[in-house]
């Protein structure tokens, strides 16, 4: 990486490598006491209130009474009383109903949610006292927030170089992400995270962005083996850095007792600018799970960056002034609890301004995916990182079925450059992995390079390169590296065609032209070769004749296709 690199976070351009961008204050101590030890019931949810017995017993609740408040609301859905979550009835993405949103508008969103209630009868991240641990690599997490303090894993958290030394952040982004994942449930206040009894390991890597610090957070740090998932609600619009990919490769191979840590990324918020998630190497390898964003109508949001490398979608919402958005935690005092609908960002009853409904973007969608995967790993702890990806593809829900971007491959899976395989479906993943599922066999990899030196016509007529693969595998991931000296590479459209005839658009005309500080500063950015990836061929056969087609979609600029390399991963 270079000093000029900029990354975006929460839709805002984030200064990169400048220590002056944020200031922090040391925090001397934080309470993080373990649960009391006691004998647990062998039954999961005796009273069917969507809270496992083991958690009710831990909290001093009655596992044989589903309505302890007597208000005709199941305890697991309650927003009242000492065991309720004050704003839970606004969290439509957990449990959708006819909602009154924060601005008073009635919105019918029945059924548009993550389908979590049946999961909650058995799994909430507590994991029999060995809590699922999810890392938030971000601007830092406010460690004494009343809805986060009990779930902070101080031991595995990093502030700069130091583990266990949490600092109070000035940027609320990481605190918002953490709340979506694991805001504590049933504590009489605030909101609920998707996996409310998981532990959060905070890393404020985005403050200094030093490679060796990310190595500690992602791979080699204190207690790294036990961290199940790393959430990364950040990225760039263009990068070719491979160091971050090497870190993820090591973590995927060796952590979680060689089953691999799961790395989740936001796809980005540059849809309006015609960005593409395949333009960033940090997101286009086979290791990260790249997430798109949906609004409450199960449609792609106006900002969500598309790409053939997308794997799955979750909710991120649109403009909080007009639509239902994501409720979460924030740094106390940073939200606004009065005013009109354009300026108020939290509810009137949030007296300490510790919460907000002003959280949107793929930054909000990614932690929903991280938390959902955490629930799946609690149910099926033997899954490898590759199994998680495969189960995501096999079980995601196709939404917006009339959208023309959906393509069905030869294995019967549908994928979209807008949605990946669709809305994440943790219930479906758990159903499959807990009923006779066998983990994937050893990974196989085939690679073939073709040198071409063909002129690319300046007329939208594609030229093609055929690549014959004689080895057989069930595909999990495909990469194509294209080398061209085209003087304006952003004019090129590149399509990969599998032996079964499935067509994946790897990249289309895009704005990577040096016009912005976060785009490439050169127009011939394929001159050294650029890698693109696709998930569309998942489940298909690798053997046969592949084809890569390249076309120049704009006039005037010209170039030569120098070569193409096909890289297939499968089992």
- Inform me whether the pLDDT recorded for 15 exceeds 70: no
* 405, 433, 461 - which closes a domain: 433
pLDDT confidence bin for 354, thresholds 50/70/90: very high
Rounded to the nearest integer, the mean pLDDT of the chain is 90
Domain count within the chain: 2
Model pLDDT for residues 361-389, shown as the tens digit of each residue: 999 999 999 999 999 999 999 999 999 99
* 410, 433, 456 - which closes a domain: 433
pLDDT for residue 104:
59
Residues 213 and 149 in one domain: yes
pLDDT for residue 38:
41
Residues 418 and 528 in one domain: no
- The verdict on residue 465 lying in a domain is yes
> Cα–Cα–Cα angle for 302, 304, 309, nearest 5°?
145
pLDDT confidence bin for 105, thresholds 50/70/90: low
Domain hosting 355: range is 21-34+112-433
pLDDT for residue 556:
79
Return the higher-pLDDT residue of 380 and 39: 380
Structure tokens at 263: 């790395």
Return the higher-pLDDT residue of 464 and 25: 464
Residues 565 and 508 in one domain: yes
- Across residues 526-543, what is the average pLDDT? 97
- Across residues 57-83, what is the average pLDDT? 95
Asked if 117 and 76 count as a contact pair (C-beta separation under 8 A), the reply is yes
- The verdict on residue 30 lying in a domain is yes
- Across residues 321-325, what is the average pLDDT? 86
- The verdict on residue 393 lying in a domain is yes
Residues 334 and 456 in one domain: no
Structure tokens at 62: 């009655």
On the 0-12 / 13-18 / 19+ scale of CB atoms within 10 A, 263 is: buried
Residues 158 and 199 in one domain: yes
Return the higher-pLDDT residue of 93 and 32: 93
Residues 500 and 546 in one domain: yes
Contacts for 496 with CB less than 8 Å, ≥ 6 apart: 478, 480, 503, 504, 506, 534, 537, 546, 547, 548
* Cα distances (Å, whole numbers) of residue 424 to 229, 266, 306, 406, 546: 16, 14, 16, 16, 30
Model pLDDT for residues 176-187, shown as the tens digit of each residue: 999 999 999 999
- The verdict on residue 163 lying in a domain is yes
pLDDT for residue 521:
58
- The verdict on residue 510 lying in a domain is yes
Residues 224 and 150 in one domain: yes
pLDDT confidence bin for 26, thresholds 50/70/90: very low
Return the higher-pLDDT residue of 8 and 221: 221
- Inform me whether the pLDDT recorded for 29 exceeds 70: no
Residues 409 and 486 in one domain: no
- Inform me whether the pLDDT recorded for 561 exceeds 60: yes
pLDDT confidence bin for 20, thresholds 50/70/90: very low
- Across residues 418-423, what is the average pLDDT? 98
Residues 402 and 505 in one domain: no
- The verdict on residue 255 lying in a domain is yes
CATH at 264? 3.40.50.200
Residues 428 and 451 in one domain: no
The Cα–Cα gap between 282 and 443 comes to 21
- The verdict on residue 53 lying in a domain is no
pLDDT for residue 403:
95
Window from 145-154, 206-215, 279-288, 547-556 with minimum mean pLDDT: 547-556
pLDDT for residue 516:
42
* 433, 466, 493 - which closes a domain: 433
pLDDT confidence bin for 511, thresholds 50/70/90: confident
CATH at 548? 2.60.120.260
- Across residues 409-424, what is the average pLDDT? 98
Residues 425 and 461 in one domain: no
pLDDT confidence bin for 497, thresholds 50/70/90: very high
Residue of 297, 250, 304 lying closest to 273 (CA atoms)? 304
Model pLDDT for residues 447-486, shown as the tens digit of each residue: 999 999 999 998 888 999 999 999 999 999 999 999 999 9
What share of the chain in percent tops pLDDT 70?
89
- The verdict on residue 100 lying in a domain is no
Residue of 411, 569, 566, 417 lying closest to 501 (CA atoms)? 411
Residues 339 and 471 in one domain: no
- Across residues 407-414, what is the average pLDDT? 98
Q: What is the DSSP string of 221-262?
A: STTGGG--EEEE--B-SSB---HHHHHHHHHHHHHHHHT--E
């Amino acid at each position: 990486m270079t000093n000029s690199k900029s990354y975006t976070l929460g839709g805002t351009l984030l200064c990169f490598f400048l220590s002056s961008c944020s200031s922090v204050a040391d925090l001397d101590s934080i309470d993080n006491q373990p649960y009391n030890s006691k004998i647990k019931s062998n039954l999961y949810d005796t009273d069917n209130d969507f809270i496992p017995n083991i958690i009710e017993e831990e909290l001093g609740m009655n596992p044989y009474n589903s309505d302890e408040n007597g208000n005709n609301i199941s305890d697991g859905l309650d927003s009242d009383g000492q065991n309720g979550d004050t704003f839970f009835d606004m969290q439509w993405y957990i449990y959708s109903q006819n909602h009154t949103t924060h601005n008073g508008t009635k919105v019918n969103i029945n059924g548009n949610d993550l389908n979590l209630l049946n999961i909650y009868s058995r799994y909430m991240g507590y994991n029999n006292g060995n809590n699922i641990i999810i890392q938030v690599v971000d601007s830092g997490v406010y460690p004494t927030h009343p809805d986060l303090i009990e779930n902070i894993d101080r031991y595995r958290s990093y502030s700069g170089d130091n583990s266990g030394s949490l600092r109070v952040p000035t940027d609320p982004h990481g605190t918002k992400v953490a709340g979506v994942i694991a805001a504590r449930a049933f504590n009489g206040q605030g909101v609920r995270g998707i996996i409310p009894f998981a532990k959060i390991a905070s890393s404020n890597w985005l403050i200094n962005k030093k490679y060796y610090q990310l190595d500690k957070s992602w791979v080699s740090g204190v207690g790294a083996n036990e961290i199940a998932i790393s959430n990364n609600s950040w990225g760039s619009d263009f990068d070719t850095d491979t160091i971050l990919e090497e870190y993820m490769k090591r973590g995927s191979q060796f952590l979680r007792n060689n089953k691999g840590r799961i790395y989740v990324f936001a796809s980005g918020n540059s849809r309006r600018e015609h960005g593409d998630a395949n333009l960033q190497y940090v997101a286009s390898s086979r290791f990260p799970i790249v997430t798109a964003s949906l609004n409450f109508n199960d449609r792609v949001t106006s900002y969500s960056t598309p790409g053939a490398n997308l794997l799955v979608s979750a909710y991120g919402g649109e403009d909080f002034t007009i639509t239902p958005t994501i409720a979460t935690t924030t740094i106390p005092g940073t939200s606004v609890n009065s005013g009109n609908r354009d300026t108020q960002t939290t509810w009137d009853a949030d007296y300490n301004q510790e919460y907000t409904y002003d959280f949107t973007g793929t930054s909000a969608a990614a932690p929903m995916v991280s938390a959902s995967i955490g629930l799946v790993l609690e149910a099926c702890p033997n899954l490898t990182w590759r199994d998680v990806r495969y189960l995501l593809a096999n079980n995601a829900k196709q939404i917006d079925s009339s959208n023309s971007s959906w393509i069905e491959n030869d294995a019967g899976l549908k994928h979209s450059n807008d949605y990946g395989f669709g809305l994440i479906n943790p219930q479906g993943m758990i159903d499959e992995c807990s009923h006779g599922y066998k983990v994937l066999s050893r990974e196989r990899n085939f690679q073939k390079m073709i040198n071409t030196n063909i002129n690319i016509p300046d007329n939208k007529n594609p030229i093609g390169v055929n690549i014959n693969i004689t080895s057989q595998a069930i595909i999990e991931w495909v990469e194509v590296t294209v080398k061209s000296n085209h003087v304006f590479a952003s004019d090129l459209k590149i399509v990969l065609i599998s032996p079964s005839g499935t067509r994946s658009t790897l990249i289309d005309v895009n704005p990577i032209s040096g016009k912005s500080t976060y785009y490439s500063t050169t127009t011939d950015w394929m001159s050294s070769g650029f890698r693109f990836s696709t998930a569309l061929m998942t489940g298909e056969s690798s053997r046969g004749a592949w084809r890569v087609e390249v076309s120049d979609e704009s006039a005037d600029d010209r170039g030569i296709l120098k070569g193409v390399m096909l890289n297939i991963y499968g089992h």
